[in-house]
Amino acid sequence: MVEPADRPSTAGQRLGAPESFGVSTLEPGLRPPAQPPGRQVSIRVQMLDDTQEVFQISQRSPGKVLFDLVCVHLNLTEGDYFGLEYQDQRKMTVWLDLLKPTLKQIRRPKNTILRFVVKFFPPDHTQLMEELTRYFFALQIKRDLACGRLICNDTSAALMVSHIIQSEIGDFDETQSWQHLLHNKYLPDQDAIRDKITDCHRKHVGQTPAESDFQLLEIARRLEMYGVRLHPAKDREGTKLSLAVAHTGVLVFQGYTKINAFNWSKIRKLSFKRKRFLIKLRADPNAHHDTLEFAMASRDCCKIFWKICVEYHAFFRLFEEPKPKPKPILFTRGSSFRFSGRTQKQIIDYVKDSELKKVPFERKHSKILSNSSMSPQPASFRSQVPKEVIQFLVSPFILSLIYCNYAPFSFLGRFVHIYRHFWSVFNSSLSRSPASDDSPLGSPHVIVNGSGSVNGQGIGCTGVLGPGQSPEGRQLSPLTSPLLTEAGYVRNDDEDEARRKKFPTDKAYFIAKELLTTERTYLKDLQVITESFQSFVGKDEVLPDSVKNLISANYDPVYKFHQGFLKEVEQRLAQWSVEGRSNAHIKGDYQRIGDILLKNIQGLRVNISLVLWFSSALSSRKVETVCRDFEQQRVCYLPFNIFLLRPLHRLLHYKLILERLCKHYPPTHEDFRDCRAALADISEMVLQLQGAMMKMENFQKLLELKKDLTGIDNLAIHGREFIRLGCLSKLSGKGLQQRMFFLFSDSLVYTSRGMTPSNQFKVHGQLSLYGMTIRESEEEWGVPHSFTLFGQRQSVVVAASCASEMERWVEDIRMAIDLAEQSSSPSTDLLSTSLPDNSKSLLEDSGAEQESEEELCSSRSSLERQGHRGNTTVHVCWHRNTSVSMVDFSVAVENQLSGNLLRKFKNSNGWQKLWVVFTNFSLFFYKSHQDDYPLASLPLLGYSVTVPCESENIHKDYVFKLHFKSHVYYFRSESEYTFERWMEVIRSATCSTSHSTRKDLY
């Protein structure tokens, strides 16, 4: 019915590109469709409540992927009424095409904000089945009123605003309503009808927010300008008019008055030719013309309006989504654009036929809900830290120290006594604050003291050993061992299953328990800095005293703070589920965790401020040598730089845990308001620190790579960004030889594994990215997955292990080339002056001793070898022939987990209980959480995680399987939640290189 008059087919269609399929809002419980592999980008979307969310999509994803992500985020079932609009490069407002790649439409995603708004306005709001959908429509009406788009008389405007106010502040109160109208603008000329609004508001006593939304839509749908978006045009005589489209057809306005309407049943065809919009009507003897012509500002304006008409017609008139047109054999005229998604009839039928669970949601502007869910806390819950002090700690001056790679220690040392003095003042203010009446510390039921006893009976559940204390001989805490009841007694599976069925445990308990288990690991990591490292450097006179003082001044307070925080969390979990027997069936104030987090927010804020600018201090050559020596200690199971950034990364973990709690709780739950308030504070901190954190992570990654490379002097310099590392095969006269490549923002370095005691990688050459070009060359060389890099001085042919690896490398190299071209400073020569000029003359180490995969995967060899540096990410990528990007590292710091798991080998019979820590793409195994160092580790890059099949005879619940080549391991978790969490975080490591989430790092 609707086609353009002149529109050639696209190049993709002429070449036989596959037809994209339409989009439908996801059903509840389903995840968004898998995104195509490739570089990820961040897209900002502004919601109808004026909040902004950032979504990660693949560079090649169609618009439907982004739209589905938004609908899933909002739990929106009837999402097909909505759309995403934005301003294109011509400053014209257009809808995001769901079938075309998003980045083909949005050229500058960093500077573009998409708006999630109502696209299709139904004639009757009763056709909207969900309360959440009506709420979003009400927000759209509120926005249209405020911007002057929904024109109406004063009586209708006052009545609509009164319903909006009723939904936001509740029943009429003269003072409150008057103040609310003073501080909120609902209409352009609101002051003139303020008395009318308050008079209408008086009549809505007892009306709920949902009822207010319903009444608001009832009034709005009767207005002539309801859902109308005007498009300027002129008729044949040059009279200025406006065109619009509605569910009934095409409308013509003069000013804000509708002067004509063309019903869909009367329209035979809609088309456009250049800047003329044509409406062809069905034969009518009473009509003067069968074709109406309107002139618009440009061809683009015509096309935009024509596409909206196509979609409106299909949405309201068709029974189902239109099928794609058959591909033309030679050529075609007309546009290939079509409506994609469910029609209104399909939406209504789906909602009627489905028994959808009503999902609670938060009305952002409604004080009715916020009073009950986000009420202010007592003064004791929030330590009063002066704002001036906090602003000083996170001031741009202090933050600028982060970017100084070689800050003088003498200068930094001057701040030590300032922070010591501040910390003593802060601690004294904490000690003076009165205890809360409902504080768990005052509960007489279960008391956990510093020696790890409950009501005087020792259970050893504090997780922190004092000086001189030993874990030997202690009974394990029931909180850390879900398979133990009383000390030394192992519960069998039948008892465990019966207990779960009789007393099903609330999911919130396991989320809170994740906070507890990861907090224990975090405290152990802080202990590596505050005790192990300080003890190690105490014997070394090489380390400057200023650095030693900085460590004690910055990290000791953090460690002490989290000791107290961990005790509070342990006590609460002990009250929530005493000795492993869930008390979820018994209601009590102790079944919550948000109040503890909220109470400690200010302490976290100060601790992060203390740590934020310190970690860049460990960058001198002397300090690097000391840190490298310390990494040979078994207690330092990760690169030392990772421990230094732990406090910043821990904020991300708190945020994720609180998000899961808020998503799980209904708004009426007693813990919901505390969790929401704590989440808001921590999210604000994360947002403020995000840029600084990314710069620090990059700088620390450069320092870490410097330890694995030999032949490079000046790797960690200002402005250089690490992008990707991994294995590629380099084509030379000797054939394909395995090389480790390191991609930075200004150069590409290739190396081979040397024969040094620490197995460092020896640099063979460097390619400047400035002026580099890249070309796929599989057919030219006959090597699968190969491509050629053309530099200014030389060209290199390399091959990836698979097509996906090649795609990742090519995308990242091209991005790095663009960065190098945009950079004003030339690339710095990375090679050491001691290396010969001709990099090709360097010896090939094909005969170097190769560490076997068996050795790498062995449960003990990876940590018990000298230095245990063969377990670093670089070495794992070398052996597994894979690659990792900086984005993968950033994702990895958010995906960390700790807890008890049962492990079983492929050919063994029994299960072994272990304390397992997942971090840095690896699993680390301990006897218990009190151990100072892991007994073994398992790097997961290259592994696959699945569920055992029936033929493997693993007849247990919550079991997942890890396998790589002939290596197979089974793990059992304690609950469905922990099973899903372990699967989730492990997939982030085993599959990170195939679906990593690219953040805006550059």
Q: What is the DSSP string of 740-766?
A: EEEEESSEEEEEEE--STT-PEEEEEE
Is residue 55 within 8 A of residue 66, CB to CB? The reply is yes
What pLDDT score was predicted for residue 45? 94
Is residue 443 within 8 A of residue 435, CB to CB? The reply is no
Is residue 167 within 8 A of residue 188, CB to CB? The reply is no
Is residue 45 helix, strand or coil?
A: strand
Is residue 240 helix, strand or coil?
A: strand
Q: How many CB atoms are closer than 10 A to CB 398? A: 15
Amino acid at 302: C
The packing angle between helices 545-576 and 601-612, to 10°, is 160
Token pair belonging to 71: 């609908």
Length reported for the chain: 1002
What pLDDT score was predicted for residue 795? 87
Q: Provide the greatest CA pair distance for the chain.
A: 104
What pLDDT score was predicted for residue 117? 95
Is residue 652 within 8 A of residue 686, CB to CB? The reply is yes
Cα gap 9→859, rounded to integer Å: 60
Q: Up-side HSE of residue 624: CA atoms within 13 Å toward CB?
A: 15
Using DSSP, how many helices (H) and how many strands (E) does the chain show?
33, 30
pTM for the whole structure: 0.52
Alpha helix positions (H), 24-130? 63-74, 102-105
705 class by beta-carbon count within 10 Å (0-12 exposed, 13-18 middle, 19+ buried): buried
Cα gap 619→640, rounded to integer Å: 12
Is residue 703 helix, strand or coil?
A: helix
Token pair belonging to 519: 């907090």
Listed in sequence order, the residues at least 6 apart from 816 whose beta carbon sits closer than 8 Å to its beta carbon are 723, 743, 744, 745, 746, 748, 769
Is residue 631 within 8 A of residue 644, CB to CB? The reply is no
Tell me 531's DSSP state: I
Listed in sequence order, the residues at least 6 apart from 692 whose beta carbon sits closer than 8 Å to its beta carbon are 399, 402, 612
Is residue 809 helix, strand or coil?
A: helix
CA–CA–CA angle 999, 1000, 1001 (5° rounding): 95
Is the Cα torsion angle 263, 266, 271, 275 positive or negative in sign? negative
Residue 287 dihedral angles phi and psi, to the nearest 5°: -85, 145
Is residue 319 within 8 A of residue 259, CB to CB? The reply is no
The packing angle between helices 672-708 and 646-664, to 10°, is 150
Token pair belonging to 452: 């790890």
599 class by beta-carbon count within 10 Å (0-12 exposed, 13-18 middle, 19+ buried): buried
Is the Cα torsion angle 563, 936, 618, 642 positive or negative in sign? negative
Residue 531 dihedral angles phi and psi, to the nearest 5°: -115, -60
Distances (CA, A) of 685 to 176, 250, 426, 569, 610: 32, 50, 19, 22, 14
Is residue 376 within 8 A of residue 674, CB to CB? The reply is no
**Chain position carrying tokens 């991005």:** 815
Cα gap 948→828, rounded to integer Å: 51
Is residue 136 helix, strand or coil?
A: helix
CA–CA–CA angle 881, 887, 890 (5° rounding): 110
847 class by beta-carbon count within 10 Å (0-12 exposed, 13-18 middle, 19+ buried): exposed
Is residue 775 helix, strand or coil?
A: strand
Closest by Cα among 401, 379, 382, 929 to 604: 382
What pLDDT score was predicted for residue 351? 82
Cα gap 86→385, rounded to integer Å: 42
Is the Cα torsion angle 841, 842, 848, 852 positive or negative in sign? negative
Cα gap 242→232, rounded to integer Å: 4
Token pair belonging to 269: 């065809």
Cα gap 19→327, rounded to integer Å: 9
Is residue 191 within 8 A of residue 198, CB to CB? The reply is no
| Terminal CA-CA length for the chain | 47
Is residue 394 helix, strand or coil?
A: coil
Tell me 670's DSSP state: T
Q: How many CB atoms are closer than 10 A to CB 817? A: 19
What pLDDT score was predicted for residue 429? 43
What pLDDT score was predicted for residue 998? 39
243 class by beta-carbon count within 10 Å (0-12 exposed, 13-18 middle, 19+ buried): buried
Token pair belonging to 199: 């008079």
Listed in sequence order, the residues at least 6 apart from 312 whose beta carbon sits closer than 8 Å to its beta carbon are 120, 245, 246, 247
Residue 774 dihedral angles phi and psi, to the nearest 5°: -135, 140
Amino acid at 280: K
Could you tell me the domains of the chain? 228-323+336-342 (2.30.29.30), 507-580+588-695 (1.20.900.10), 709-823 (2.30.29.30), 896-990 (2.30.29.30)
Paired sense of beta strands 52-58 and 944-946, if any: unpaired
Collect the ranges in the chain with pLDDT lower than 70: 1-34, 285-288, 322-336, 355-358, 367-505, 539-542, 577-589, 607-620, 755-758, 824-871, 991-1002
Cα gap 168→170, rounded to integer Å: 6
pLDDT tens, position by position, 168-207 = 999 988 888 888 998 899 999 898 999 999 999 999 988 9
